[in-house]
Structures are given as C-alpha cells and as structure tokens.
Amino acid sequence: MVKDIVYTVRVEFGDCDPARIVWFPNFFRWMDAASRHFFVECGVPPWHETEKTLGVIGTPIVDTHARFVKTASYGDMLELHTSIAEWRGKSFVQRYRVMRAADLILECDEVRIFAARKPGDERGIRAVEIPPEIRRLCE
Amino acid sequence: MVKDIVYTVRVEFGDCDPARIVWFPNFFRWMDAASRHFFVECGVPPWHETEKTLGVIGTPIVDTHARFVKTASYGDMLELHTSIAEWRGKSFVQRYRVMRAADLILECDEVRIFAARKPGDERGIRAVEIPPEIRRLCE
Amino acid sequence: MVKDIVYTVRVEFGDCDPARIVWFPNFFRWMDAASRHFFVECGVPPWHETEKTLGVIGTPIVDTHARFVKTASYGDMLELHTSIAEWRGKSFVQRYRVMRAADLILECDEVRIFAARKPGDERGIRAVEIPPEIRRLCE
Amino acid sequence: MVKDIVYTVRVEFGDCDPARIVWFPNFFRWMDAASRHFFVECGVPPWHETEKTLGVIGTPIVDTHARFVKTASYGDMLELHTSIAEWRGKSFVQRYRVMRAADLILECDEVRIFAARKPGDERGIRAVEIPPEIRRLCE
C-alpha cells in the first residue's frame, strides 16, 4: 500500500482559455503544487529548511508523461491523487490521477530527483541520493 | 524534410522559482505558444476564423511526454524548434526541441487533435478528421 | 454593512520568484478568482449562464490600485477579504484585503464593469448598466 | 528627456480567457518583465550579480496603479514603453504605456524599491537607498 494524498483545486475563470476549457499548462502548475503538498503531508520540512539540513533545495522534474482524458472548466473542483509509484537510486516516479468526482481528467507519471546546488555554480543543480529520512516519511 | 519552425523565448525573472531555475510549467506555456506559432507561420488562420470556416476551435493536447535535460534561468534566450513528427487520422504528433544556443534544454512529443465544439454542449469538444487544407499548409 | 466574503489561497513554491517571495502578478490572479468567488457566493450564476440570460460575459477590470504591505512566501495561507465598496452607474469598486492571519499583506481597489459582447464584433466588449438582479444578490 | 525603452510582447492564445481577451494578470507579468528589461537595457547587471556587489536582490513593487483602456487578444503585438517617471529617496516610479500600434491599451505607474535581504531573516527584505551607480545608468 503506497501513500495516496489528495490535493484539491478549484478551477478558476482565468485558468481557462478562449475554448473555455482549462489551458493545459495549468495542470502542470497544479501537479507541481500537489507534489510538494505530498511531501508536506508526509512530514518532510519545506525545501528552504532541508537546504540547510540535507542540502536538498527541491525535487526538480526530469521527465513527465501526461495523458489528458477529459476536459475541465471553471467551477469544477478537481482532486489530484498523488503517490510515489517507484523509488530509484537518485530519482523517483511521482504519479497523479486528476479526478472530478468519479471522472478521470488526466493521469501523469513524473520522474523527479532530489536536487542540491552545485558547489561554486550559482545556478547549477545536481541529483543527490534519495535521503533515507525523507523516503521513510513518504512510505 | 518536415517543416521546422523556431519560436524564440526570453526567460524572465518571474519565470523562475526559488531554486532560481525556470519553473517547469512555463515550458508547457511556451510550447503551447510555439505550437500555435507553427500553424500561423504555415499560413493557417487563427482559430477564431477556422471556427467559422472549418469548425476547428484549436488543437487541444491529448498526450505529452517531455524530457528535461538542462536547466535554464532568467536572461537565457531559448529557441523552440517545432515540427510535426507524424500525422495520424484524427491526431498528430508535434515535436519540440528547446535549445539554448547549442545546448539541448528539453525535448517533448505532444499528441494533439483538431477540435470542434460538440453540438448542444456548451463546453464539450470532439476530435475531427485532420482538415486536408490545414495539413497541406503544414507539410 | 457590506458583504465581506473570504477566498483562501495556499501559496505554492511555483508562485514564488528567485527572491523567494510571491511574484506579484500572482496576487492579481488570486484577486481575480476572489472577485468571481464573491459573485458565486452571493448566488450570481456563472458567466456562461448570464451570457445567455443577461448578455453579461464577465466583469472585466478597468482600473486597479494595489498597495503591497508585506511579502508572502510558500507555505503561507492567505485570506482575501472581498467586498464591493461602491456601486456606480455602469461600474463598481471591488475591494480586497489580503491577510495572513492578522498581517495585512496587500490591499487593492479595482474598478470593474459588467461586460457584454459588442454586436457584430467577435472580440469587442462594452459596459452595460449594472443588472439590478445581480446587485440585489450582492448587497 | 527620460529614457524610454520598449519591450515587445506577442499575445498568445493561452494569455486569453474565455471572454477571448487578455486575462489581465498577464499584463502585470509583462510589465514586470519590461521593468527588468529596462534595467538590463540601461546596463544594470542581473540581480544575482548585484546581490553580490551591492546587496540588491531586485526591485519589488510596493504600489501599482493601472488603467485599462482597450482590450487585446491573441495575435496582437504589444509594445510596452517603459520609463522612470520619478526618483525618490528609497523608491522610484516606473511608468508603462502599453501600445498596440497607435492604440493605448493600458497605462500604469508602479512604485518600486531596491531591495536587500534582511540580515538573519531568510525571507525578509528591506529597502535600501537607491544605488547611485544604478541611477546613473538609468538616466
């Protein structure tokens, strides 16, 4: 049994495009929030704290594959079911199922890493081994 | 030889997150603009015109798979190379390679459809056969 | 006593910029959602319905004046207190006070109109007299 | 004669809302980019450099007043004319006129400060005296 954590989104007028449906980049915005929300709900501290304790500044994405099943529009309430489908050495697969009541709107698998700053490189980042204390909280 | 059309993006401060790199949903924002730009450059009229002539209101996405290779940050100029990798019956694959000079930042394959409104359904959409006049302009 | 309706926002990582504070255009995104939320909570139907009954397609903004008092960052919960400070002939003043617990983050006065489409102009809009049935619901 | 620097924006489909006009928070997004662009064009280094040399991490906004004159929609090219209308002790007024060819779309006055981090406060910021080397470059 993996942890499945729900993040709720109200779709707003401004999230929709001239075709009157959600403009799809907004789904990635919401999934990114659901990703962080997953860690927060599991008890992982905010990244500005883990930066000091573990060097971890966040979980940047390296791969994402989304399948859009139904459209959504403003007034809809969406539930983003978020879980970790797989742990790898330096990466993990975060899985989302975006539901409107019983309707599947979107499903998505992301590969993310735990990132630290590159020493001596203001903007560079590198993958670190998955911190066992974080993994333990999320399982 | 497929048409390869370049859409240029200036990365701005507000496109970056507290890790000081581009917040990834913005890449989907830019790819969506590059998608429409591709059709405009090929001579396809804006969707509010094709809605009247062909019933086509846009090219919503049904599937996307992106691989993030390098990070980008504000001050960067990105070139989104956009092409149509495959035509299918009611869908097509739009391919993006996001470059910063010679560096590959991101590559992405999207499956999109040509959409029309569903009769009697204010917000529903349905896929239509690829209009041959549009395909001809894009090849 | 005017109606004061609260819209709640969770500040996300991606809402913040490299200075690690909310990137200010996001406040306008949230205030626009709070504006529509205000009407919904007052019992006004969604704009795609009022378009058919009253011709009203929304409440576009004509003037906004915001004062930024304190910064916010991810993890913060914000409450947007929204009210209508003044009704005029064809416009109204919508007022926002964005709070984080007892801290005032931002205050803003917007002038908005009730808009209808211009006949024979696909994208033009015009102001209409404030529909009395809408005003009644909001007072 | 004040410096007036133009920042050009292509309005995209995804910048527009179901009323088919630019969703107004996007104008603030573009004005923020035009603000930074103004400093870059004047020769001011990027903020991650001035953070090291002058302690300045950016120019957060403290007040903005915008007047929306005409709507815009996708396909439009907008020119944001940007200047500094006034220098004060610890703040300045940045002025924008957003034009579509000869049409005024929007005008806006922002009050901004030059910000530095607060010592011992991860996310706090404070206003600093306007660095004379920056002001000189901008006049």
Q: How far is C28 from chain A (nearest CA, A)?
A: 11
Which pLDDT score is estimated for B110? 98
Kindly name the residue from A4, A15, A17, A32 that is annotated as catalytic.
A17
From residue C20, how far is each of B18, B114, B128, C11, D61 by CA, in Å?
5, 40, 45, 12, 14
Closest residue in chain D to residue C116, using alpha carbons only: D19
User: Residue D36: which residues within 8 A CB-CB, separation 6 or more?
Assistant: B12, B13, B74, D59
pLDDT of residue A123 exceeding 70, the answer is no
Dihedral sign for Cα atoms in the order D33, D36, D38, D42: negative
Asked if the Cβ–Cβ distance from C33 to A10 is below 8 Å, we say: yes
Which pLDDT score is estimated for D123? 65
Q: How far is D136 from chain C (nearest CA, A)?
A: 24
Closest C-alpha to C10, from B73, A46, A61, A21: A46
Closest residue in chain A to residue C32, using alpha carbons only: A14
ipTM above 0.85, yes or no: yes
D126–chain C Cβ distance below 8 A for any pair? no
Would strands A103-117 and A61-68 be described as parallel, antiparallel, or unpaired?
A: antiparallel
Domains of chain C in sequence order: 5-138 (3.10.129.10)
From residue A103, how far is each of A71, A79, A84, B61 by CA, in Å?
10, 10, 22, 18
Chain A positions touching D17 (Cβ under 8 A) are 13-14, 16-18
Asked if the Cβ–Cβ distance from A122 to D25 is below 8 Å, we say: no
Q: Which of A68-77, B64-73, C47-56, D91-100 has the lowest mean pLDDT?
A: C47-56
pLDDT of D7-42, one tens digit each?
999 999 999 998 889 999 999 999 999 999 999 999
C89–chain B Cβ distance below 8 A for any pair? no
pLDDT of A31-62, one tens digit each?
999 999 999 999 999 888 899 999 998 899 99
pLDDT of D61-116, one tens digit each?
999 999 999 999 999 999 999 999 999 989 999 999 999 999 999 999 999 999 99
Asked if the Cβ–Cβ distance from C60 to D19 is below 8 Å, we say: yes
B17–chain D Cβ distance below 8 A for any pair? no
pLDDT of residue C123 exceeding 70, the answer is no
Chain C positions touching B50 (Cβ under 8 A) are none
Closest residue in chain B to residue A31, using alpha carbons only: B25
pLDDT less than 70: residues of chain B: 122-123
Chain C positions touching D58 (Cβ under 8 A) are 17-19
Radius of gyration (C-alpha) of chain B in whole angstroms: 16
pTM, two decimals, is: 0.94
Closest residue in chain B to residue D12, using alpha carbons only: B33
Gap between the Cα atoms of D4 and D96, Å rounded? 9
